[in-house]
Structures are given as C-alpha cells and as structure tokens.
A and B are shown apart, each in its own frame.
Chain A
Amino acid sequence: MLAARAITRRFGRTLALDGVDFEAHAGEIHALLGENGAGKTTLMNVIAGATRPNSGEVTLDGAALNAGSPQEALKAGIAAVHQSPMLFERMSWEENLALGGFGRRGRYDLRAVAAEAAALASQLGLKLPPPRAILEQRSVSERVRLELLRALSFEPLVLILDEPTSVLAPSELAGFLELLERLRAEGRIVVWITHKLAEARAAADRITVLRQGRVVARAISPETPERELAQLMLGELAPPDAAAIPKGGSGQSVLLLDNLLLIEDGRSIIDGLTLELSGGEITGLAGVDGNGQTELVELLARVRTPSGGSIRLSARTEAAEIAVIPQDRDHDGLVLDMTLWENLLLEPGLRERFTNGSWLDVAKARALGADVIARYKIRAASPDALAAELSGGNRQRLEVARAMSLKPKVIIAHNICRGLDLAATADVHRALVDFAAAGGAVLLISSDLDELLALCGRLFVISRGKIRETEPAERTPERLGLLMAGAWS
C-alpha cells in the first residue's frame, strides 16, 4: 500500500498542499482528480521524491521513503511519468533511454538499447519513433510514451501518470487503458492524475478528489455521478447559460479585414482574407493549427505588417480598443518572471493609463491588480505574486482580465481555453459571452469545435490562409472537421 500522510507543501505564499492524506492499494487504478492548480502534480512530485514536502511523510508498504530523492523513490519502486516530459530534447530517443537505464550500463550501444526498447514496446503495445529521431522534433505524445516506456522498464510497484491523456491521441487511448489494466492485474498500483471527470469515472477503481490543496473526497467510487464529482472538484459550477449567448449581433461593424495578404518567402500565409466583425457577437474561426491563425493574430496585434490589404477600424473604434489574447500564454502573453500587476501593464493601453509622463503609478496599478484578482477569481496571494506562481487556468484568467480591463471594443482570442480545466474554461467563456452581450465584438480563433459551436454566432473556417463562412447545415463536428482539413481550399 502506498500512503502519503499529512503532506504540506508551500511555494512562497502559495499553499500547494495542505495536510493531504492519500492512500492507494496494490492492484488498483486510483484516479487523482482535481482542477488545474489543485496540487495534483505537486503531490505526485512529493510521492516520487522530486519535491521535498514541508511536512508529512510517504510510505510504501509501511516503509518510510527518503523525502526529496527521486533515485530512492525509484529504487523503492515508485516511477513517475511527468506531464511535461523530463527528457533531453536535443538527443535521440535511444540516447534518452540509454541514460534512463536501457542497454548495458557504461556501454554506449544504441542498437542494444533500441532492441531492448522495441521488445518492451511491443509487449506493451506502444509505438516507438523512427530510429535516431531527435526528441525536439517529435510530438509531445511520443515523448510521453517514451517516458512511460522508461518508467515501466524499472518494473515499478507504483506508477504515477500525470495527465497522460491530455497528450495522447484518442486512437491511442484504448491501448493505453489496456496497458493500465494489465499493470493492475499484476498487482501494481497505478495512480492516474487527471482533471477530466469522464476519464476518471471510466477507468479508475477509486477516485480521490483534490481541491485547492486539500482532499475533498477520499477513495470514492467511480459510480459517483458526474455532476457530483464536478461539484467536489470545482466547489460550485457555473458554466455560461446557453440562453445568454448572443447570436446575431448588433450589425454594427467595428472592424473590417479587407483582402488581407501576408506573403513570406514567396509563400502566401494569409491569402486574401476578408472578414467583418460586428459588435454583440462572437465570431468563430475554426482551423487546424498552422493554417495562418498565428500570423493573423500577429497582424491584428500589429506585430507584423500585411503585405497587402488592410485592417480597417470603424469610425468610432480606436486602435487601442483592440485587445489581443495570444495562444501561447507562457511565451507570448505573459512575462512569467514579473508580478501580476506588471503583467497587466504589458498591455500598452493599460500602461498608458497608469503612467504620468514617464512615471508609472505603481500604487494604482497594484490596486487594479487587486481588483482583477477579486473580479476574475484569480488564485493569487497578492498583486505582487509572480505570474510564474499561478497555475495555467489562473494565468489565462489574468490574460482575460487584462484584455477586459482595457475596455476594448474588440477582443481577438486565440485558443484561449487550450489546456484549461472545466472551471477555468467556464470562467473564460462566461467573460467572453458577457463581453459580447454588452456590445463587444469577439473573434474566437480556435481548434476546439465544441467551444466554437457552443459560443459562436457566425463561424468561419480557415485553411491555408483562406477563410470561408460556414452554412448552418455545416455546423456539425463531422462537416466542420472536413472543412478544416481544407476540402474546399
């Protein structure tokens, strides 16, 4: 039996785990469920020795583990597969496995490593990347599979998986579940970390729910109704009311993209794109990543200049009234090493509001930070918390809050709910819906069809830099999928 007792772990002012007790028995798949920022990853790291708790201890079959030593934990039989794989990005997968204990120690025989890996992989039903592939160039899901392979090669008694399905393709899921069931049959302990209710209910034998660093339900049955689990996970659940979603719009045009062109290295990335945004509705733009969406966002953010065509604002809209939320919040949207209030000031319109001459009004900017924390339910200790200390969902809430604080007429949002849990997604959606209902125009660029179908009045599809409006009859996931694949362009 794996047991963690009274684990407390603090990060600066954030209490990530607050006296958590957790137990899992041999021969079970135990789901650890909780929304982003609940403390799941931290708990895993404590159990796997990667993070030292401030207090509490972990035992395996009654023997206490040495806190803060991943090697000890591994020797005792605890292996972890991390959410973001801990691999050497610039090396081939064989080299990574060699470093992870494959092949003979002290020998650099990649062929032996590959053979050993192939044997294990076929036994487990996992697919390996092509020979000598450098990890940097492989997908996240392939990297996670490698981590899984490496973890399993140690024949661990306990296998902890941190949100593995968020990177596995749906087609890989069945094989993956089969694998877990085999491990269970062998009497091992599988701890499956997830924020997806359906998954936990479908696969786990028992579920423990974490919320804000505390256990709110211990080892409950997977038969627990979904609604009840959601309640446990989120506290209270408030997705946007379908009736409140504005459709149709005011017809008042605020922004016109007229025959926009972007040509780079002789390739047209944006190819004669014409689109009119009007107040009071959410306009959707569906597409597979890499069809010009990022560049379109950069054009709208005026980081790039178009090679042709124009972006025209209606007479009553000013340039500063367009707020852009880029898709990569950690790289483009936020400066993680700066405080929450400083991140608000990144937006030029807000910075202008908080400067007198060349002086920043720090007190006022902090006050806005405090206000935003309360209004947008951002879990942060204070406006002085670093963005890096926030969980993904809270970083996104911060970005939305920043856009809203600008009091813009138009919001351009790109994949803003990617990787967010239910609560954060609901909050972000509600903020967009409220904004549109109050007369704002939203361009929601996304590859998530559920999101687009739920929120958008008009819906366009982008493929190879060209766009096309969809007919109502086309708005089914299947038809949209075909359109996104470029069946028309």
Chain B
Amino acid sequence: MLWPLIKSAAALALAIALISIVLVALGVSPVAVFAALAEGAFGSWYAFTDTVVKATPLVFTGLAIAVAFSAALWNIGADGQLLVGAILSGAIGPFLGGWPRPIAITIVLVAGALGGAIWGGLAGWLRARRDVNEVISTIMLNFVAVQTLSWCVHGPLMEATRAYPASTPIAESAHLGFYFPPSRLNLGIAIGIILAIGCHLLLFRTSFGFELRAMGRNRRAAAFFGLPIASLTVRVMALSGALAGLAGSVQVASITHRLYEKLSPGWGYEAIAVALVARLNPIGIVAAAFLFGALDNGSQAMQRAVGVSPVLVQVIEGMVILILLAFDTPIWSRLGGRLGGAKGPAHAPALSPDA
C-alpha cells in the first residue's frame, strides 16, 4: 500500500517541478506561488478547515469511483448520481421540521444514497441486461440529472418567493451543523472517513468485495466459477451511485442547505482523478481528496497574493494524472480495452491497490 502512495507523491513533486519551470519562464517566482497556495490551503485554522470542507465531496465521489473501477465498471456518472442524491435530499429536507435531529439527518442521507443508487443502478441494470456500455449510459444520465435539477429548482421545488432558481431550504433539524463556527467544519468528513474504512474492509475483507474484484480483473473466469455477473454489476453500480449520492446529500445538509443549478462544480469528474491518484485504494482516496481540496482552496489565495490564475491548479491536477498514467500504462490498456471492445494484454497488472 505504501509503494503506490510514494509513486503518487513523486508524480506530484514532478508536476510541481515542471510547473515551476513554466512559472520561472513567465517571470513569476514559483516559491511565491506555492507559498501562497500553501498559505491559502493551510495558512490558518479557517483555511485548513475549508480545505477539509472542499475535500469532503471528493472523498465520497472518489470512493464511488474506486468501488466501480475495481469491478472494471467504468462509472463516469458520479456527478449525475451526486445530483440525483442531492435532489432527493433537497426535496425531502424541507418537510423534516420538528423531527429529532438524528432521525432527520438520517432520512436526508438515506434519501441521497437512495437517489444515487437508483441512478447508478440504472446504468448497471442497462449493462447487465441489455449490454449497454456503462461509460455511455452514465455520461448520458449525467445530462439527464443536470437538466432534472434545473427543472426542479425552476419548477416543483422552487422556493416560496419564486424569486431565485433555488429550492426551499431544508429544515434546520436536518442540518449537519458546524462544530466551530465560523469555520464550516462538519460531520461530513467524519462520515467520509468512516465510509473509506468501510470500503476498504468491503473490498479486501468480504466475500462481496472479493467477487467484485475478481469480476473486475477477469470477467470470464469469474463467470466460469459461477459468480453472478449480472447481479454483481447492478449491485456494484448501485453501491457506487449511493456513495456519490451521499456526496450530494452531505453537501446539501451541511453547506448549501438548498438546491440550486450549479451545485456540483464537477466533483464527479474530479473524483476520477482522485481515485486514480489513490490507485483506487479507499484509504488513499481520503489523502488524495485532501490534496485536491487543498489545491482548490489554495488557488483563490494564490490569485489574490501573486495574481496567478486559479486555473494553474487544474493544470497541476491534470499533470499529476498524466504523469501517473504515463508510468502506469496498464490503466490505459484496461480502460481502452473496455472502450474499444478490444482485448488488452491478458496479464496486464490490475489498476488496483493491494490490501
């Protein structure tokens, strides 16, 4: 487990080094840029907690990707699953006034998980029953989810004054409150970490996780030994969707308290990067999500301090992924094999961590 993490860290260092060269060429001091970045991400208690808050949805969606990819189900739809989860949470939330807090929160979270599970499970069902490539179906379902959210906040769920394209706020009893206001630190990250440990145990210590990984690495052999491929496909996609859906409901319950159109800045896609950097290892995903959260968070401060566009952070993220992929080609051969319908090398090492 250590070796992949070292590799990821090395990729990050290399990306930073390459970026530094570009910055020097532009006449900006890399030291100043990265200092500002670090200052913005960790420079104060408030900055640090906001990094955690930004990392939280990436933990959930990263886990969603890891679970699906471990089964060689290429779920590109975490963003849509997140949105559907958020919609259900946001729809039920306003009706929970007066309920005891633990129950109200549980209902909101379960609704989110359920929404994501339905959205992911649908793609799984299409794959299992009709052999629809899940890459295509999940991308399409993302579009459907985005438009559904838009319709909801302009239509049935629109807030009472009808002035803003946003939904009625969820009841106070369903809020995941801030522990140390004004910092926005909340229970979400703790739930994420617990789920990461849970996913790790699930993947490497349970019979379901074993079946899932066996299917991911050799579908034919898995079928030969009687693994229920179709049902596994549906269950894995539903589980993956549920994790992504939780990202949406945690975000609604803790931060936004309501729905609006641009709820997700693309966490479901960024999660693919997070999961790849973490080599699909659930514990590694917490670390990778934290790193990405820090980069996001620091980028604002960096712009203010040294006038470098926050887009630089996306460049760094992109480079980390590219560098990792460049030194880990089997990922491509497996993904490419799936997309192109061609058979990759039969013994390509798996894109997956070892427990």
Contact = CB atoms under 8 A, between A and B. Distances in A.
B205 interface: yes
Range for the number of chain B residues in contact with chain A = 20 to 34
A346 interface: yes
A339 B349 CA distance: 11
A239 interface: no
A459 interface: no
Interface in B205-231: 205-210, 213-214, 217-218, 220-226
A466 B223 CA distance: 26
Contacts of A362: 204-205, 355
Contact of A335 (B205, B206, B222): B222
Contacts of A346: 214, 221-222, 225
A331 interface: yes
B222 A301 contact: no
Interface string A299-333: 00111000000000000000000001010001111
A337 B217 CA distance: 6
A332 B346 CA distance: 11
B217 A331 contact: no
A134 to B, nearest CB: 14
Given A359-B207, A360-B205, A331 B225 contact: no
Contacts of B210: 342, 345, 351, 360
Nearest to B215: A335
A348 B225 contact: yes
Contacts of B342: 90
Q: Which of A324, A347, A360 has the most CB of B within 10 A?
A: A360
Interface string B317-355: 000000000000000000000000010001111101011
A327 to B, nearest CB: 11
Nearest to A301: B224
Interface string A336-356: 111100100111100100010
Contact of B217 (A333, A338, A360, A384): A338
A26 interface: no
Contact of B206 (A333, A338, A359, A388): A359
A171 interface: no
A334 interface: yes
Given A346-B221, A358-B207, A359-B205, A335 B226 contact: no
B349 A342 contact: no
21 contacts: A298-B224, A303-B223, A303-B224, A326-B224, A332-B224, A333-B221, A335-B218, A335-B221, A336-B217, A336-B346, A336-B347, A337-B347, A337-B349, A337-B352, A338-B213, A347-B225, A348-B225, A355-B207, A358-B207, A358-B208, A359-B206
Given A303-B226, A330-B346, 13 more contacts: A301-B224, A324-B224, A335-B218, A336-B218, A347-B225, A348-B226, A355-B207, A360-B205, A360-B210, A362-B204, A362-B205, A362-B355, A386-B349
